[in-house]
Structure 1
Amino acid sequence: MSNNNPAPEPHAAGTYSTDIPTAAATDLAGPAPARVGTVVWGLIVLALAALIIVAQLGFVTLNGTYVLIGLMIGAGAALVVGGVLSARKRDNEPTTGKS
């Protein structure tokens, strides 16, 4: 793009470029991995849906209190384990001794 042309030039995809780099353009690390909390909440929703379906089909009678206690214990354990594994993966860089 020349300095004499006030309008930006279109790219092949029909989008226009600017001279200001964005965070997405400068990020070369690729897509971020899924967060542990997102995965755990997704599993909770899937588990609740499966339990509701099983209860509606009449295969088993569920006690709501026990179901919630079990889901909370499982979710808490998954969050703690996922956080520990995530922290271990991030802490592989050598330290410089400076704080």
Structure 2
Amino acid sequence: MRVGTIVWGLVLAAVGGLILVVQLTGVRLDTAMVLLGLLIGAGAALVIGGLLAVLGHRRTP
């Protein structure tokens, strides 16, 4: 599996979960802050996953 596929799957699951929570509880969220947090988290996960993949390939003979 590719790191990007996993990360974007997690982002979509988080968005779905947030929508569900908002609809069930009526909690109001700041949309811009939620999207900013998701993008920062996804970007960090992609960078870290890419680095781990590169380091993993270098260690195998």
Q: TM-score, length-normalised on structure 2?
A: 0.92
For 2:24 and 2:47, the matched residues in 1 are separated by: 34
One-letter identity of the residue aligned with 1:70: G
Q: Which has the higher contact order (CA 8 A, sep 6+)?
A: 2
Q: Which of 27, 35, 44 pairs up with 1:60?
A: 27
- Partner deviation per Cα, 1:18-75 (whole Å, 9 max, x = no partner): xxxxxxxxxxxxxxxx100000000000000000000011252111101100000000
One-letter identity of the residue aligned with 1:72: L
State the shift of 1:77 in Å: 0.5
Give the alignment of 1:67-78 within 5 angstroms: 67-78=34-45
Report runs of 4+ in structure 1 exceeding 6 Å deviation. none
- Aligned-residue Cα RMSD (Å) equals 1.3
* Equivalent position SS for 1:60: coil
Uncovered stretches (5+) of structure 1, i.e. residues with no partner: 1-33, 95-99
Give the paired residue count. Answer: 61
One-letter identity of the residue aligned with 1:87: V
Aligned residue in 1 for 2:7: 40
- Compare the two structures and name the one with the higher helix fraction: 2
* Pair 1:79-2:46 in alignment: yes
Identity of aligned residues (%): 52
The higher radius of gyration belongs to 1
